[in-house]
Structure 1
Amino acid sequence: MYLADQAWPELSDYVAEESVAVVPLGSTEQHGPHLPLSTDHKIAEGLAREAADRTGYLCTPTVNVGVSVHHKQFHGTMWADAPEFRDYVESFSRNLAYHGIDRIVFANAHGGNQTHLREVGRRLREDEVAYAVEWMWDESIPGLVDDLFETNGPHGGPKETAMMMHLDPENVRTDELEAARDGGLVDWANSDEAYVHGARNFYDSIDNTENGVLGDQTDATPEKGAELFDAASEQLAELLTWLDDRRFADLMAKPHVNPQPGSRR
């Protein structure tokens, strides 16, 4: 069920019985010369809506702009500063809780959002408002990603390229795949400049790659994208079902160990 397509009486029927929602979050940022800036938020929305269709749970509108300042040198990249992003996500999560949603999955497709979504989840849990978890699509199927691609890459690489070939093929510039690979950094994990004596020696994407691409996109196909999409959607659907089966009290923070502070005063 997609929240924004419903009339309010229809949503009242949902919250009378259910308390779970999935929130897709991505970014609007450069993904090299071959992929659109919409890559992350289109992947997040596609997976969240598919999982909601499979389970019947509620899917909210997508957060299209994330924490992407590390891509700022490339044309068109938009970003929210981290504190404002966290406050925004927390605010609408509390809105959902007001309407009876107390379990939330942040279906995320942008690495820059991860730390901040987890912090929001901690805040909501500490206040016993809701239990919210961050879910990153590729981290739910790491074995499949490794099996499908010889040289992956965390940004603009073959996994994202394949997913977009499946979800939004008209906006994938297939004639730029070789240029994306050749102008980027294929084996970024073993770069001598990325990590120096144990220190992460970069802040922005452009510090590693002139065209904003990491990985080898040339072995991406729509068929591989469809396989990734189906597997990740199933993982998300199973997470939603698992969360729905938990008692809310069991999801909250555990009490302080005994003896309780001040109990012997």
Structure 2
Amino acid sequence: MYIADQTWPELGDYVAESSLAVVPLGSTEQHGPHLPLATDHLIAESLARDAAGKTGFLCTPTVNVGVSPHHRQFHGTMWVDAPQFRDYVESMTRNLAYHGIDRVVYVNAHGGNVQHLREVGRRLRDDGTMYAIEWMWDKSIPDLVTDLFDHPGPHGGPKETAMIMHIARDLVREDQLEDARDGGRTTFKGRDYREHGARTFYDAIENSENGVFGDQTDATPEAGATLFEAASDQLVRLLEWLDAQPIDDLLAPAHADPQPGERR
């Protein structure tokens, strides 16, 4: 159920019966010469809408701009600073709580958002507002990703390329796949850019001239469909599990005994 398509009385009927919402988040950032800047938010929204449609849970509009300053040197990349991103997502999520939602899954498709969504979830849980967790599609199916691709890459690689081939093939510049591979890095390990234990880089362009990693020529629409269905299935299972949990079991546990001030 997509929230913006509903009327307010219809949403009243929903929150009278259910208390879970799905919030898709991504980014608007470079994904090499072959993929659109919309890659992350297209994947997040498509998976969130699909899983919500299968389960009947509420899906919100997508947060399309995320924490992406590490791609800022590439034309068109948009970002918000981390504190503003956290505050915006938290404020929007508290809005859902006001209407009766007490559990949220952030359907995320951008690695730069992960730690900030985790922090927002902690804030909301610690003050007893609700239980909110971050879910990243490729982290839900890691074995499938490595089975399908020899060089999946962390950004703009064949896994994202295949997903966009499945979701919106007309947006993939298929004539640029070899250039994407040859102008970027096929493999990437964080230790490649460390000195004496210190991570010495901040921006993607420092590691890849065109900003992408992996062998994009391995991507196919068929592989994208396989990834999409597997990830959607994992998300459906997560939503159904979360819906079944008593809210008291999800919120922060009480302080260890003795309780503060108990012996005064």
- Hey, what does 1:86 align to over in structure 2? 86
- Comparing 183-192 with 226-235, greater Cα deviation is found at 183-192
Aligned residues: 264
Q: Alpha-carbon deviation of 1:195?
A: 2.5
Give distance in 2, aligned partners of 1:196 and 1:241. Answer: 45
Give distance in 2, aligned partners of 1:136 and 1:14. Answer: 26
- Hey, what does 1:65 align to over in structure 2? 65
Give distance in 2, aligned partners of 1:190 and 1:113. Answer: 19
- Hey, what does 2:181 align to over in structure 1? 181
Aligned 1:200-215 pairs, distance under 5 A: 200-215=199-214
Aligned 1:134-149 pairs, distance under 5 A: 134-149=134-149
Structure 2 residue matching 1:261: 3-state secondary structure: coil
Structure 1 residue matching 2:115: 3-state secondary structure: helix
Give distance in 1, aligned partners of 2:188 and 2:219. Answer: 18
Aligned 1:40-189 pairs, distance under 5 A: 40-189=40-189
- State yes or no: 1:261 paired with 2:237: no
Give distance in 1, aligned partners of 2:259 and 2:103. Answer: 29
Structure 2 residue matching 1:104: 3-state secondary structure: strand
Give distance in 2, aligned partners of 1:254 and 1:144. Answer: 35
Give distance in 2, aligned partners of 1:40 and 1:262. Answer: 48
Q: Alpha-carbon deviation of 1:263?
A: 2.1
Give distance in 2, aligned partners of 1:246 and 1:196. Answer: 46
Q: Given residue 22 of structure 1, which amino acid in structure 2 is its aligned partner? A: V
Aligned 1:34-45 pairs, distance under 5 A: 34-45=34-45
Give distance in 2, aligned partners of 1:60 and 1:17. Answer: 17
Can you list the C-alpha shifts for 1:21-79, whole angstroms capped at 9, x where unaligned? 00000000000000000000000000000000110100000000000000000000000
Q: Given residue 81 of structure 1, which amino acid in structure 2 is its aligned partner? A: D
Give distance in 2, aligned partners of 1:209 and 1:236. Answer: 32
- Comparing 252-261 with 25-34, greater Cα deviation is found at 252-261
Structure 2: state its 5+ residue gaps. Answer: none
Give distance in 2, aligned partners of 1:162 and 1:243. Answer: 29
Cα gap change, 1:81 to 1:34, in 2 (>3 Å): same
- Hey, what does 1:6 align to over in structure 2? 6
Can you list the C-alpha shifts for 1:99-131, whole angstroms capped at 9, x where unaligned? 011100000000000000000000000111110
Q: Alpha-carbon deviation of 1:84?
A: 0.3
Give distance in 2, aligned partners of 1:51 and 1:197. Answer: 45
Q: Alpha-carbon deviation of 1:258?
A: 1.2
Q: Alpha-carbon deviation of 1:190?
A: 6.9
Q: Given residue 20 of structure 2, which amino acid in structure 1 is its aligned partner? A: V
Give distance in 2, aligned partners of 1:183 and 1:220. Answer: 17
Q: Given residue 74 of structure 2, which amino acid in structure 1 is its aligned partner? A: F
State the TM-score, normalizing by the size of structure 1.
0.98
Give distance in 1, aligned partners of 2:35 and 2:96. Answer: 33
- State yes or no: 1:198 paired with 2:186: no
Structure 1: state its 5+ residue gaps. Answer: none
Runs of 4 or more consecutive aligned structure 1 residues displaced over 6 Å after TM superposition: none
Q: Alpha-carbon deviation of 1:189?
A: 1.4
Give distance in 2, aligned partners of 1:40 and 1:199. Answer: 29
Structure 2 residue matching 1:188: 3-state secondary structure: coil
- State yes or no: 1:20 paired with 2:57: no
- Comparing 31-40 with 4-13, greater Cα deviation is found at 4-13
- Hey, what does 2:237 align to over in structure 1? 238
State the TM-score, normalizing by the size of structure 2.
0.98
